[in-house]
Amino acid sequence: MDANTLYQGGENFDLRQMLLKGRSLSLRDRTALFGAFLHAPDADQGHICRREIRSASDREVLVADGDAGTSRTMLMFGSNNYLGLANHPLVQERVARCIAEFGVGIGGPPLLNGYTSLHKELEARLAELKHTEDCLIFSSGYAANVGVVSGLMSRSDTVLYDAYSHASFCDGIKLSGVRSMQFPHNDVRALQDSLERLPVRSGGDVFVAVEGVYSMDGDLSPLESVVPLCRKHNAILLVDDAHGTGVMGENGAGTADHCGVTNEVDITVGTFSKTFAVTGGFVAASRAIVDYLRYFARSYMFSASLPPPVIAAVLAGLDVLRDEPDRIARLRKNIQYCSAALRSIGFHVSAQSPIVPLRVPEGVNIRAAARRFHELGIFLNAIEYPAVPMSQQRFRISLTADHMRNDIDRLAEGIATVCKSWTATDRIAA
């Protein structure tokens, strides 16, 4: 099986499966095979991986400059800190105050000693943001997806899910044993056909799972079309809005709000590792579903609660969303400005979210290109084979509210410089 077969378009590739190609090898042989792949002489030229950041997350960061012991200032276009909350003064002040009152941790799961007044307040605030009855908090976005799928779905159910769904959702499917069917990315007609062809199964539910904003391409799910299909076929709609919460819709309510279907999503999964720039995840739904998940989502029951300072950071972030709406407005202006700047140098871009993919033509050495961006002081994340097929390698640009226009101008100039070797046809087709 090759990477083209494995690629799902999101963050759901299986490197082990690609390398082993169906072979059964010992741990020693597997690690040796992977080491040869990772450190191949013809593969590590220009390799940019695990760069050491030596400053707070901001529009500019200090990055360790190789083995020289020095640092260089770089423009950060690789962070999901979309609204600049990671270094916001109010967030810092609230976290410091929280540590003085609650300490740095809890030392227990939420059903025992790991539930504070801060956790209770955050659940209520998130339910309000998502227009649901209740909410529960997980230790990570990954745990939230695994927990909601394995906790709610059973072998008598069926889930139809977008081909670009996140790896955590797919891992939840494996744990639950639910019957699953994948439909092509954002293909509403294919979803409709699948719903109409599903055999009647006694006692089983049908779930439809999509993402609000997809992580690799930054495109949106057409929820305004998906919701009526779910209602027509009595399917339960689950939306993973990891990248949409905080930046899409009015006051950052999310992609459902952006698409005009605020009260029509049955279950919303979110994370604190994007807009809120910390860690953790949540599930917002009816009170009955949330109560059920507290006892049946194993990744919730058997994980320690998030430390109070993390909860305080998210609560402060919600206050910033409410009190500083200009941050979202600035982010959206930056998205528009970046799209226009990239179009001016030959790329077809019309971004709707802070994620802007920059496709690399097949045959271009993406690692060498990544090294050139690094040398220009532009921090970009290279998404390379085998995470995607050779034909779909790309750089993923992440925009924030704190970027200034001259930052984006420097980004566009850097892209134009690095892409000089690419033909005009390659640029237009990107």
Catalytic choice (123, 134, 162, 240): 240
HEC string of 98-146? Answer: HHHHHCCCCCCCCCCCCCCHHHHHHHHHHHHHHCCCEEEEECCHHHHHH
> What is the distance between the alpha carbons of residues 317 and 294, in angstroms, rounded to a whole number?
25
Q: Give catalytic status of residue 274 as yes or no.
A: yes
3-state secondary structure of 235: coil
260-295 in b/e form (b: 16+ CB < 10 A) is: ebbebbbbbbbbbbbbbbbbbbbbbbeeebbeebee
Catalytic choice (123, 134, 157, 211): 211
- Which two tokens mark 393? 């390698």
Catalytic choice (88, 119, 166, 403): 166
Catalytic choice (119, 130, 243, 403): 243
- Which two tokens mark 118? 């801060």
Distinct helix (H) and strand (E) counts, the chain: 17, 13
> What is the distance between the alpha carbons of residues 382 and 418, in angstroms, rounded to a whole number?
13
Q: Give catalytic status of residue 166 as yes or no.
A: yes
Catalytic choice (185, 274, 374, 403): 274
Q: Give catalytic status of residue 211 as yes or no.
A: yes
Catalytic choice (215, 299, 334, 339): 215
Other C-beta atoms closer than 10 Å to the C-beta of 79 total 21
At 258, the amino acid letter reads: H
Catalytic choice (12, 79, 80, 299): 80
Map tokens 């459902």 to a residue: 256
**Cα-based torsion angle of the residue sequence 114, 118, 121, 126 in order, rounded to the nearest 10 degrees:** -80
Catalytic residues: 80, 166, 211, 215, 240, 243, 274
